[in-house]
Structure 1
Amino acid sequence: MTDEARLGSEATAQADKPLLQVDAAVKRFGGFTAVDHLSLDIRTGEFFALLGPSGCGKTTLLRMLGGFETPDGGRILLDGQDISGVPPHRRPVNMMFQNYALFPHLSVRDNIAFGLRRAGMPRADIEARVAEMVALVSLEGMEKRKPEQLSGGQRQRVALARALARRPRLLLLDEPMAALDKKLRENTQAELMRLQRQLGMTFIIVTHDQEEAMMMADRIGVMNAGRLQQVATPRELYEVPNSRWIAEFVGGINIIDGAVESSGGGRITVATQAAGSVTVATPLQALTTDQVCVAIRPEKIRLSSGEAAPDAGDAAGTNRVEGVIAGVSYLGGQTRYQVRLDRGALLHASVANTVRREAEAFDTAQRVVACFAPDDCMVLDR
């Protein structure tokens, strides 16, 4: 290998090396295990989301990364160095808390400058850095205000500027938008994504909001009972869940229990009591039993009136089941239908409202045909 090729190979390996490595981390509180032998790699410049139900351990993990909790086992490596026992103020890591934790007696300028002063930065450099942060989060003209004189969104931006001021290698965000209204939340999400791309910094956000995680993150780690259940991109997590639990937790889904009847030609036929025989594409994950479930996302189901013939363009093997509309929910951009099938299953279908007229809408008690392709279904172990 030439020197040029060797240097190129070493540079590639360095670029692929994770910035943060969590190695079999454990955290217990008395007899309760909040984080259970959890391992995770996070890349430089990545926007990573920790998602999970309340009490799953995601905030405890974040606090361990920030140095506010000490692991009872395992290691936390940053750039290959074990920081498990390093106190928060000595880590190149900053954390933005859910309640922002601003000092009420300090101005916007002094809140942002607080950590810089503690670090002993020269006064001129502090002034320059504070001015940079104020401009970055669009707070010009508000430098002398106290937190009580700011809106919730403005207080959040002060907290963000303070967290960014020391230019940490890693920024931790603990449900930073939980207290914001929907419109402000959406604006702030877009602003955080812009800042993360602009700064090239690694962000880790804890959230219980699935839409927030799906919109913002490059990858998502879904936790339950102190363990990671799956780490994947938003699309992979939604379209290729690795278990029934993940499929049910992430987004809306229809689950129909059954048993494998036959397989071949890239297809599996599943016999179900509630919907008859369903043809499904061969799963990416190996099944461990014939007792399975069929999973279908609501937007994958197409509805037509009960008298209509299947579309001429339907692929061979398209599943067709019949029933009646049991419920209708109009949500503006889409309408959600509950369809009670003749065999008993209740399917949820989501239809995009692409036109203003109601000619294509369905009414309660109307008979319909629900169609879904084998490639749009998933088959998972029960």
Structure 2
Amino acid sequence: MPLLRIDTVAKKFGAFRAVDKLSLDVRAGEFFALLGPSGCGKTTLLRMLAGFETPDEGRILLDGKDIAQVLPHERPVNMMFQNYALFPHLNVRDNIAFGLKRAGMPRSDIKTRVAEMVALVKLDGLEKRKPDQLSGGQKQRVALARSLARRPQVLLLDEPLAALDKKLRESTQLELMELQRRLGMTFIIVTHDQEEAMTMASRIGVMDAGRLQQVATPRELYEAPASRWIAEFVGEVNLFDGQVEPHESNRLTVATRDAGTIFTAEPRHPVAKATVCVAIRPEKIKLSRRGPASDAVNAHAINRLEGVVSDVSYLGGFTTYKVKLDSGAMLRSSMANTARLDVDAYSAGQRVTAWFTPDDCVVLEQ
């Protein structure tokens, strides 16, 4: 049995169905991410887990017990809000202790638990400060400590890093991951930031229009998307629509308008439709001035496209190139900058050959 089972849960606001008969299992000790665009229902689902919204249909099982009708303060679930929701008139120590006092914990135990939480989130020496005397990162730690103080079975995080700058957000991601591993607690985070979800979570559920579109590990989600929508939503991708042609074993042939004939590896599951979409991630596409060296790959197992570089974006560790193919379509390539100088770089207006192998392609039916 999973620790948390969401069983065909639905929630409507008037005629709008925010969550549409959604089912999901979350394992004990898992760092799970709900990822999706704004308005997809992920925060509504999180609020139902916390008890702030009641499902219209379905069950929410925690350790086998249905908690859908249990009041928020009576369920072993805590939620950390996006705006932190700290009490401005209380100092750090009292903010962390607030829930413990409401639960009736003895004063000596509260003192011990607060000290433990302060040490856990590295707020030593700041116990007497009030929220307006703290930085954004420190406020985030106070909110986290308060959420953890009652030792919930599940901690819910509603875009907890959205207010932090990029550097602080990256360091806090690593701290949250380490904290979750040390505590062995189940974390469920809601985010619209793909990089954040893929960095932190062991599994990701991608939502759209109130439904789960795919649940997978970050690598599976990126390398084997279940649909065209997932491929476009998670990371950058090149997409070519085409028709499946008669093919030999271990290889699929797709005739496209924009990229000619593309050879792809045989999909894991048989292709039922004649019209498909071929997806290739930008980092899988190599550029060269004359095409790949003869010994780079088997000559018969390569896809070559000719075009002209139209745009170059240097991003430090890698450079992205937009290539206008001879067909008029645009292709995106992302190549690592392995040399300090730009000896291997390409410039706008330069003619290049873009190439990729059948294994670099993913065939999608929808």
TM-score by length of 2: 0.98
- State the match for 2:149 in structure 1: 165
Verify: 1:98 aligned to 2:102, yes or no. Answer: no
- State the match for 1:244 in structure 2: 228
Q: Is the deviation greater in 340-349 or in 134-143?
A: 340-349
Identity of aligned residues (%): 70
Query: Structure 2 CA distance, aligned partners of 1:185 and 1:85?
Result: 35
- State the match for 2:296 in structure 1: 313
Cα shift at 1:341: 1.0
Query: Structure 2 CA distance, aligned partners of 1:42 and 1:308?
Result: 47
- State the match for 1:230 in structure 2: 214
- State the match for 1:20 in structure 2: 4
Query: Structure 1 CA distance, aligned partners of 2:140 and 2:332?
Result: 38
Counterpart AA for 1:161: A
Cα shift at 1:284: 2.0
- State the match for 2:177 in structure 1: 193
Cα shift at 1:283: 1.4
- State the match for 1:144 in structure 2: 128
TM-score by length of 1: 0.94
- State the match for 2:95 in structure 1: 111
Query: Structure 2 CA distance, aligned partners of 1:23 and 1:266?
Result: 39
Taking a change above 3 Å as real, the CA distance of residues 288 and 265 of structure 1, as seen in their structure-2 partners, is closer
Gaps of 5+ in 2: none
Cα shift at 1:309: 5.4
Counterpart AA for 1:102: L
Verify: 1:274 aligned to 2:254, yes or no. Answer: no
8 Å Cα contact 1:283/1:380 also seen in 2: no
Cα shift at 1:111: 0.3
- State the match for 1:37 in structure 2: 21
Query: Structure 1 CA distance, aligned partners of 2:76 and 2:168?
Result: 30
Counterpart AA for 1:157: R
- State the match for 1:333 in structure 2: 317
Q: Is the deviation greater in 283-292 or in 261-270?
A: 283-292
- State the match for 2:267 in structure 1: 283
The runs of at least 4 aligned residues of structure 1 exceeding 6 Å deviation read none
Aligned residues: 365
Query: Structure 2 CA distance, aligned partners of 1:243 and 1:275?
Result: 20
Counterpart AA for 1:323: G
**Residue 87 of structure 1: which of 53, 63, 71 is its match?**
71
- State the match for 1:4 in structure 2: none
- State the match for 2:347 in structure 1: 363
Query: Structure 1 CA distance, aligned partners of 2:208 and 2:270?
Result: 22
8 Å Cα contact 1:323/1:368 also seen in 2: yes
C-alpha offsets along residues 4-61 of structure 1, whole Å, 9 cap, x if unaligned? xxxxxxxxxxxxx200000000000000000000000000000000000000000000
Counterpart AA for 2:295: A
Cα shift at 1:288: 3.0
Counterpart AA for 1:376: D
- State the match for 1:178 in structure 2: 162
SS state of the match for residue 252, structure 1? coil
Cα shift at 1:285: 3.4
Cα shift at 1:308: 4.8
Query: Structure 1 CA distance, aligned partners of 2:136 and 2:158?
Result: 16
Cα shift at 1:82: 0.1
Query: Structure 1 CA distance, aligned partners of 2:215 and 2:61?
Result: 19
SS state of the match for residue 314, structure 1? coil
C-alpha RMSD over aligned residues: 0.9
**Residue 35 of structure 2: which of 45, 51, 60 is its match?**
51
Gaps of 5+ in 1: 1-16
SS state of the match for residue 332, structure 1? coil
Query: Structure 2 CA distance, aligned partners of 1:148 and 1:292?
Result: 55
Cα shift at 1:194: 0.6
SS state of the match for residue 263, structure 1? coil
SS state of the match for residue 343, structure 2? coil
8 Å Cα contact 1:37/1:227 also seen in 2: yes
Counterpart AA for 2:301: G
Counterpart AA for 1:67: G
